[in-house]
Amino acid sequence: MDAANALLAKGNSFLTRLMYRGVRGELIQQPWFQSIRQQSADPFVYITFGIGVLLVLIMGMLPGLVGIVITLGIWAGLAYLYFAIGTKKAHQFIAYGIGGGGAAIAALSALLTVATLIDLAGLRLAGTAVTLLIVLVLTVLVGAALAYVGVQVHRAIKRMSGQ
C-alpha cells in the first residue's frame, strides 16, 4: 500500500507536461481547432463527451478483445482532445469523466463478465470461459489505468490551480 501511495504522490510528469502543452495550445495547432478552443471550448467538451460515452457504450457490446481495444481507443482519443483544449473544464472531464466514469463503466463490465462466467460454469463451456476470463482481466486493467489517469490529472489540476 505504501508503494502505491508513493507512486500516486510522485505525480506523473508526462501527464502534467501534456496538460501544460495543451494550455499553451501546442498539441493540435490546426486553425479550426484553435478557433473552437478559444471561442466555444466548454460546449465542445460537453458535446464530444456525450458522443464519446455513447460510442463507448455501443462499442463495449462488441465481443471480447475488439470491444476493449475500441473503447480504450475512444477514451484515449477523448483524453488527448481534452488535453489539447487545455481549459480547466476539459481537464476536469479527463479526471472525473474519463478517469472516474471510464473506470465505473469498466467495473460494471467486469461485474457483468463475472455474472456471465457464473452462468456459464454449469454449462461446461471451457473455451468461452477462458475467453471471458481474458476479457475480465483486460477490463479490470483498463479500469485501473483509467482510474490512475483520473487521479493523476486531478492532482495536476490542483497543482496548476495553486491549491
Q: Could you count the other beta carbons within 10 Å of the beta carbon of residue 142?
A: 21
Q: What is the pTM of this model?
A: 0.81
> pLDDT, tens digit, for every residue of 58-78?
988 887 788 888 989 999 999
Give 25: exposed, middle or buried? Use CB within 10 Å, 0-12, 13-18, 19+: middle
Residue 16: what pLDDT?
85
Residue 159: what pLDDT?
85
Residue 155 CA, chain-centre distance (Å), reads 16
Residue 80: what pLDDT?
95
Low-confidence ranges of the chain (pLDDT < 50): none
Q: Which domain holds residue 63?
A: 11-161
Q: Is residue 3 part of a domain?
A: no
Q: Is residue 2 part of a domain?
A: no
Q: Is residue 130 part of a domain?
A: yes
Residue 13: what pLDDT?
77
Number of domains comprising the chain? 1
Cell numbers describing residue 119? 452462468
Q: Is residue 85 part of a domain?
A: yes
Residue 35: what pLDDT?
94
CB 19 within 8 A of CB 91: yes
Residue 6: what pLDDT?
56
Q: Is residue 1 part of a domain?
A: no
